[in-house]
Amino acid sequence: MIARRAVRMVSVFALWLLCASTTHAQAPTGTIAGVVADAAGAPVVGARVRIINRDSGLTRNLTTSQEGDCSAAALPPGVYRVTAQAAGFSPLERTATVEAGTTTTVNLALQIGEVREQVTVSDATPLLRYDHHQVGGLVSRNQIENLPLNGRDFLELAKLEPGVTTPTRTTGNRTFVPVLGSPGANSGSRTRVTVDGGSIMAVFLGGSAMGFSQEVVREFQLTSANFDLATGETASGAINIVTRSGGNEFHGGGFYFYRDHNLAGYPALNRDLANPDPFFQRRQFGFNLGGPLRRDRLFFFANLERNDQQGVASAQPRTPEFVNFGQIASTPSRGALLSARLDFRATQNNYFYLRYSHDRSRAFSPTRGASALPSNWRRQQAWADQSLAALTSTLRPTLINELRFSYFFISLSEKAGQPEDCPSGCVGLGGPEISVSGASFVIGNSFRGQNLGRRYHLADSITWQVKAHRLRFGFEYEYSRGGPVLTDNEPVQMVLYSPEDVRRYNVRPTTLPNLRIPLPASFTTVEDILRLPVQSFIIGIGNAQPYQPNGGRTKTGHLWRLYWQDTWRLHPRLTVNYGLGWFYDPHPDRDLSKPAYLEPIFGEEGLKPPKADRNNFSPSLGFAWAGTRDGRTVIRGGGGIYYDVFNINIMLDQERNALGPRGTGRTNYQHTRIANPLPNIPGVPFLVPFNLTNPTLFTGTHLMTILPALRADLLQRRGDPNNLDFSIRNIEVDKVGQVGLRDLATPYATHLSLGVQRELARNLVLSADFVYRHFIHTPMLPADYNHFFSVRGPVIPICIGAQRDDPQALCSAGPINVVDQFGRATYRGLLVRLEKRFSGRTHFLASYAYSSNVGTNRVNNDNWLEGYGPLDRDVPHILNLSAVVELPWKLQLGFNSSYYSKPPFTAFVAGVDFNGDGTDGDALPGTNVNRFNRGLGKEELRRAVDAFNENFAGRRTPRNQPIPRITLPADYEFGDNYLTQDLRLSHTFVFREKYKLMLIGEVFNFLNIANLSGHSGNLANTATFGQPTRRVDQVFGSGGPRAFQLGARVSF
């Protein structure tokens, strides 16, 4: 077992006239820094400064330098008393609030007087960022506790910051947080999420993989651009959660929240008369308790939360033939969240804490929207643990060391639903996945997955104050093992032609009478569905855990990071930040070469094992300048290079399968590689590989009949699953496969920003930053470098006859997909943030982002730049407003509203390849991907459709596909804006000045905005084009049907 060393640092320095702050690394600690001067402004040398935590008694003793400055790094968040004393001056005391990852500036002006004449001045709270150019923000405990959060999901807090949209829950118990439209196939998957500095990212996957109770979150940090070099491996965004701790006073409480179908809007797109009021119920309850075990020395905090829900989700196909299968089905989920933390002040100079957190859940829920019926949903059981220990040591008043170790464990299983999950019956339950092309209709499940992963994360950092320099250096090491094992296409995954496709085929003049396909009068059973002709199918064979470089089947990974940086106060009003980091993420398949079989595609040099990418250096340079003498305006800017982890391990697992010894690993056999074993099917030759480019009389029923024999034959032909002889590789036998380029590089991004902060009034700060982020080597979905289906023919010739079974034959039987990093993306945005910290009964935060997000959309396999333009996550306008207001009579109002403009939209024709590149579903000629809602509208679509029907309809593509005529529906849309308003109203009763009872009423999506999504862009299906397929569900997260919630909280 290996551990990881990581860095983290807390800041120390920022000196001017008023209270100030800077946001530093995603660290769970903060800094107090300042200057001690006399009434004339001259520095006081040798002044004694004492900093005492109000809750725990933690104490730091400092002495001012020749410049009169001093700083205390690595302070736990909280409220501190700062006292300065010097001979001939009256003592001066000030209260300072420390927030995680920030520097709070406390400048003290001593007055001549007696020692006994102590002077107290106003509090210091971090607002302006005087010594750093990072772009980000912090959500305080007041907001966390009092804003309405649907489902109490702590990651929902991210959307309070500019340019961040609602987090997305996905498979594998993961959550993606899209920050500034992060590029990639799964936007937000590379946003790094840590808790107390320890990573909770999924092992060898993207996304956060663990939940935490809202009760345990003390502060929520988010950085979107120009990260501190100690942040960790991300170029997309960084989130750090700081957990609560105990203190010298006992505090605790309990809560209960409840809602049901009587308090919620209708969850589906269309009302089901057979189920007009589907049952829904959610109960969330728990407690927290903290306090001293030994005063000023040993403290504890513990939290337990339970979530019990009987949710509902809508599955409503839009194609007329399958509308009757629509239903509103139950999605039960159960979960528990636990955290326990112990803080120990071992000595005056050593502070230690230990935390254990646990997340356990089980659910039965959809994974692909309203197109999938419950038989396609997955039963998921998840167990995640994080254990973390941290030691902060004051080696000298100017030298602080932070050591942190975390252990993350996840155990997850996903599989098809069981009969008990569908008490009212699920069409297709227990059968393979069957989808109907272009009809947004899916039943059955051919997937199972498990993830047993561990991560050991060690971080160490040193902060050293040397005159006007705050030096920080450190390193981190991360060791991971295990990870996801995904078994798909088991026993088969099939796609059927739609009834509309069959009707078009039957009426073609070229279709012979004996080849016309009968259709059932209606579709009411699985047997009826299986009478449709097969368009394609895939059969998965073999072990989903390929051999790894160490010879075993357990994947391992190592990450190293080093960094050094300096915050240099060049002038009382100017601070410069500069530094250099280094990051190394070894290629997971660095041991594998490619066989000579692939030389026609990659050349001789491309067959060698992947090159090590060790030149991942991260330079960073920035400044912060107090532009006005009153210290109320700060101009900041800078840039840097930041690296992401590969996060393509799942795709490269398939490379290990393809390049492994014959018979090992797992292969997915497409229909084009399987010979038809059934005689006497007109139009489908006997013992010839399936060619299903047009509807045939080979139906789903036929496929299910021959499936056992096909699987047995493929398993026998595959060979010994324990073979270790590399002389013949799987790809030479299969003649298809997926591999990676030899020169895959670590993805990275260049960040630039320039902005200004202005304190408009006390506790009211406006920030505006222009942000530019340019991403390089962005992973994309694999492309067929063999161009197998292209009209120009494959690079490796098509197999003929016996060549298909000859490993020595230089021929191909299908695509050879390649994992590459051709992707590029550019984000430009203006981020505006207006915050009024809690004072005068009000806390207010407004965030707005106006942006463009363009990049590579690979839509033409012969010209990858053709689709360059708006990305799926291009959202020009993002606005979030939130507030907490103390009203008379002990009433409190919490408000949170979000607005996002429409996403881009693509109009395409399913099953048609206009350019002959070998990929179907091309954009409508005269348009391009993601161009509607981005300059093109309905009028442009109508003109393009008219031109299409005149110039293309009735003809054939270069691949000899018939081109259908297009008819636009009478009513359609290109998507929908997103708008929601969440409200909380509470009343507090106080007993004996210490005990409180709060009664809470909440409403989510107060105006019941529909927030429709999933609008189909398939012009080949008039019934579904431009029609929404889903709306945001009401389970977790905002934007779903209006829902009221009642709650109560007791505290002391």
> Cβ of 836: how many Cβ atoms within 10 Å?
18
E strand map for 497-632: 534-542, 556-571, 574-584, 617-626
Nearest 10 degrees: Cα torsion 707, 713, 714, 716:
140
pLDDT score of 119: 55
What confidence tens digit (pLDDT) does each residue in 410-427 have? 999 999 999 999 887 889
Gap between the Cα atoms of 962 and 915, Å rounded: 13
pLDDT score of 121: 52
What confidence tens digit (pLDDT) does each residue in 159-183 have? 999 999 989 888 888 899 999 988 7
What confidence tens digit (pLDDT) does each residue in 101-121 have? 788 888 888 888 765 555 555
pLDDT score of 184: 62
- pLDDT level of residue 328 (50, 70, 90 thresholds): confident
Average pLDDT over residues 223-228: 95
pLDDT at 99 over 80: yes
pLDDT score of 650: 65
> Cβ of 491: how many Cβ atoms within 10 Å?
15
DSSP 348: T
pLDDT score of 423: 81
pLDDT at 90 over 90: no
- pLDDT level of residue 38 (50, 70, 90 thresholds): confident
pLDDT score of 73: 84
Average pLDDT over residues 708-715: 95
pLDDT score of 630: 87
Structure tokens at 472: 């920080």
What confidence tens digit (pLDDT) does each residue in 733-752 have? 999 999 999 988 889 999 99
- pLDDT level of residue 438 (50, 70, 90 thresholds): confident
Q: Helices marked H in 109-251 — which ranges?
A: 141-146
pLDDT score of 142: 92
Gap between the Cα atoms of 541 and 533, Å rounded: 24
pLDDT at 20 over 70: no
Check the CA dihedral 708-712-714-718 and report its sign. positive
pLDDT score of 179: 94
pLDDT score of 88: 83
Q: Report which of 856, 869, 897 is spatially closest to residue 1004, judged by C-alpha positions.
A: 897
- pLDDT level of residue 14 (50, 70, 90 thresholds): very low
pLDDT score of 263: 87
- Cα angle 895, 897, 901 (rounded to 5 degrees) comes to 175
Please give the C-alpha separations between residue 265 and each of 569, 599, 974, in angstroms, as whole numbers. 57, 60, 25
Average pLDDT over residues 1017-1025: 92
3-class SS of residue 150: helix
pLDDT score of 41: 81
Task: Provide, rounded to the nearest whole percent, the portion of the chain with pLDDT above 90.
Answer: 67
Task: Provide, rounded to the nearest whole percent, the portion of the chain with pLDDT above 70.
Answer: 95
Gap between the Cα atoms of 937 and 947, Å rounded: 16
Least-confidence region, from 381-390, 627-636, 703-712: 627-636
Least-confidence region, from 268-282, 594-608, 883-897: 268-282
- pLDDT level of residue 147 (50, 70, 90 thresholds): very high
Please give the C-alpha separations between residue 284 and each of 167, 265, 267, 308, 688, in angstroms, as whole numbers. 20, 19, 20, 6, 59
pLDDT at 1001 over 90: yes
Buried b (16+ CB within 10 A) or exposed e, 628-643: eeebbebbbbbbbbbb
- 1012 in Cβ contact with 1028 (< 8 Å): yes
**Is cis: bond before 491, omega within 30 of 0?**
yes
pLDDT at 344 over 60: yes
At 712, which helix (H) or strand (E)? helix 700-718
Tell me what the pLDDT averaged over the chain comes to: 90
Given the DSSP bridges, would you call strands 842-855 and 869-870 parallel, antiparallel or unpaired? antiparallel
Please give the C-alpha separations between residue 908 and each of 348, 535, 789, in angstroms, as whole numbers. 68, 19, 19
pLDDT score of 21: 36
pLDDT at 821 over 90: no
> Cβ of 419: how many Cβ atoms within 10 Å?
10
Q: Which domains does the chain have, with CATH numbers?
A: 1-132 (2.60.40.1120), 484-626+647-743+783-819 (no CATH), 904-973 (no CATH)
pLDDT score of 314: 84
- 345 in Cβ contact with 75 (< 8 Å): no
- pLDDT level of residue 772 (50, 70, 90 thresholds): very high
pLDDT at 5 over 60: no
